[in-house]
């Protein structure tokens, strides 16, 4: 498949005016595709990765374990996201990355990536995309620090909804987010049982409906309101669902 770098290119192009030879260079990467099952590490804390891992399909997360088993998820990674750009700054991973659904990963050779980074437009694109990641991280800090349970959950759902919508993965207000309540709690800083109760309340207010990993949001504006969500920070262009696009094989129940 020649389109294997599709998502990555789309993402960079959203930030930087890539030239034809930049795109050429990206396509020229030869990357190994591997499949990772839910719950298994793509990279573990302490690893010194020799490859760069690029999410091709599925959903993964950055996470960190404290000694006593507490876990905090610090990012969701969706197709087009690079897992370990940070090797350029830390030779050892200071956190792990795990598949939240079955995930397809492309392994890019480190030296190939080095070459890519020589290209100013690509470096700039990555810089900008990292700046957006930062904006997302800031929102997560706000959720964990100052929003209460329902606001935080709503905000996360709004974020994921927006990101999914931007790549055409939302159909009629529904998209797949097959994560457990434990996972959810670990991303926001709550207990699974409190997540459970909060979700129940949200369902009973018809803010959301959940069905086998599909999340349905009947009235996104109302959810935005509750979350105090302002999509600006995601730097996404609004894009309606692309019905022609086949759904990913992964992420389905």
Partner DNA sequence: CGCAGGGTTGACATCGGTCAAGGCCAGTGG
Partner DNA sequence: CCACTGGCCTTGACCGATGTCAACCCTGCG
Question: Where along the sequence are the contacts to DNA (CB under 7 A)?
Answer: 39, 148-150, 180-182, 185, 189-194, 196-200
CB nearer a copy of itself, residue 34 or residue 234: 234
Contact partner, 171, from DNA, a copy of itself, none, Cβ < 5-8 Å per class: none
Interacting positions 148-207 with a copy of itself (CB under 8 A): 186, 188-189
According to DSSP, the β-strands at 60-65 and 214-216 are unpaired
H-type alpha helices, the chain: 6-13, 20-28, 110-117, 120-146, 149-166, 181-188, 192-204, 220-227
Q: Is the dihedral of CA 4, 10, 15, 21 positive or negative?
A: positive
With contacts defined by CB under 8 A, how many residues of the chain interact with a copy of itself?
Answer: 50
d(CA 66, CA 253): 30
**Cβ proximity of 32 and 106 under 8 Å:** yes
Q: Which stretch binds a copy of itself (CB under 8 A): 21-29, 92-100, 196-204, 239-247?
A: 92-100
* Chain residues that interact with a copy of itself, rule: CB under 8 A: 15, 62, 64, 66-67, 70-72, 74-75, 85-86, 88-90, 92, 94-95, 117-120, 123-124, 126-128, 130-135, 137-138, 140-142, 144-147, 186, 188-189, 228, 230, 232-233, 235
């Amino acid at each position: 498949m020649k389109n294997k770098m599709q998502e990555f290119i789309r993402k960079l192009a959203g930030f930087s005016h890539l030239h034809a030879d930049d795109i050429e260079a990206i396509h020229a990467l030869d990357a190994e595709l591997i499949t990772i099952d839910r719950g298994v590490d793509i990279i573990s804390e302490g690893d010194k990765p020799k490859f760069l891992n690029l999410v091709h399909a599925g959903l993964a997360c950055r996470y960190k374990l404290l000694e006593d088993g507490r876990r905090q998820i610090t990012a969701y990674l969706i197709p087009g996201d690079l897992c370990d750009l940070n090797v350029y700054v830390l030779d050892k991973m200071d956190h792990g990355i795990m598949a939240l659904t079955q995930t397809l990963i492309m392994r890019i050779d480190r030296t190939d990536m080095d070459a890519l980074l020589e290209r100013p437009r690509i470096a700039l694109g990555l810089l900008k995309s990292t700046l957006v990641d930062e904006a997302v991280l800031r929102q997560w800090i706000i959720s964990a620090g100052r929003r209460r349970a329902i606001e935080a959950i709503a905000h996360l759902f709004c974020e994921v909804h927006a990101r999914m919508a931007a790549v055409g993965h939302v159909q009629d207000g529904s998209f797949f987010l097959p994560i457990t309540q434990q996972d959810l709690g670990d991303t926001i800083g709550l207990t699974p049982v409190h997540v459970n109760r909060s979700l129940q309340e949200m369902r009973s207010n018809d803010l959301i409906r959940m069905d086998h990993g599909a999340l349905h949001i009947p009235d996104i504006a109302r959810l935005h309101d509750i979350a105090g969500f302002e999509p600006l920070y995601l730097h996404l262009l609004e894009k309606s669902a692309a019905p022609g696009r086949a759904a990913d094989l992964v992420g389905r129940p």
